[in-house]
Amino acid sequence: MIGKRGKILAALYMIFLVILFLMCSTDLIIREPENEIYQVAVIIEAAGDDNYGNFRKGMDQAAVECNADVRFITLYEELHAGQQIDLIHREQQDGADALIVAPVDEKVMAAVSGKQGNAPIVLLGTGGADEKADGMIVVDYRQMGERLAEEMKKRIPADCPVFILADEHEKDMATRSFLEGAESVLEEGGFRFWRVRPDGEEGYREILEAQPGGKAAILAGSPEALTGAADILEKDIVQPGCVQGLFGRGNTPAILDDLDGGVVTGICVTDEFSRGYFSVRRAIEELERSGTGEPLVMDAYYIEKKDLREPKYEKMLFPME
């Protein structure tokens, strides 16, 4: 038989077990670490643009690693700098911990980005203005244009005219910087070039076939212009051999398909996955006060059809989901 002392000890042991169970179940002893979820707002021109596909994949990867919640905010009106500033104010008031901004107008952003409150701002810039941001992820579009024009010089005859698909007074900072770089190299090389906006298939035919020898090269200033030109030229609207090369920038699925199909000759791209990834990482570093403050300048790559299956470029252009 169990003595009185034994019963008391057994009762105390049971009480101890119950108390231990209650303490554990209510996190009084074993408390799960609470990881702070950072709220990061990304303010860009258009989140539905195909050119942002790999960019968003990179952001998603960094968000998982950094315990961040990334949300995209797009402008209601195209290229409206004032509206973008208003959205920055709104997101800060709504509690965003950090912001990532692709400036509509870098000069406007340079004047106000240092006065936008406590939430750090990471700018996706071109390096063309003196922005006062907490972090910078820079694509040097001028250098990209120079790189593409250097490759064009190797592939087209010296007397071949070059038609540049862009507005005479381009508003987009990236396109403007890109064209300035390309045109400076073409001019130094002695090439003749003009900015044009052909009106449909007939416009392309008239411009191209009116050239001496019926030959010309085409340089598209933006991904949209490159896609549009490829769609028209794919229809064989001009004589074979008339177009000495179609060049441009961008890595949308449509552009890569046209490059693989031989319609596009060569493109200059940057690693959009890494740009998205490092923009989120830089924002979190600024929040945690561990950033260097130095701009991160993305490299530019020239790619032709033969390069698409190289592991280095395949991983960059077609990152895994």
Contact (CB, 8 A) for 272 and 82: no
Using the 8-state DSSP alphabet, how is residue 35 labeled? Answer: P
- Both tokens of 118, joined, read 């406590």
What are phi and psi for residue 302, nearest 5 degrees?
-95, 130
Secondary structure, 3-state, 216-278:
EEEEECCHHHHHHHHHHHCCCCCCCCCEEEEEEECCCHHHHHHHHCCCCCEEEEECHHHHHHH
Dist CA 266 CA 248 (whole Å): 7
**Among 141, 72, 174, which residue's Cα sits nearest to residue 298?**
141
pLDDT tens string, the chain, 321 residues long: the values are 456 666 666 666 677 666 766 666 655 555 555 567 899 999 987 655 555 788 899 999 999 999 999 998 888 777 678 888 888 889 888 889 999 998 887 777 766 655 456 788 898 887 665 556 678 899 999 999 999 999 999 999 988 999 999 887 777 788 889 999 999 999 999 999 999 988 888 888 888 877 777 789 999 999 999 999 999 988 888 777 889 999 999 988 999 999 999 999 999 999 999 999 999 999 998 888 766 667 889 999 999 999 999 998 988 888 865
Using the 8-state DSSP alphabet, how is residue 310 labeled? Answer: S
Contact (CB, 8 A) for 295 and 282: no
Q: What is the pLDDT of residue 206?
A: 82
Write down the pTM of the prediction.
Answer: 0.80
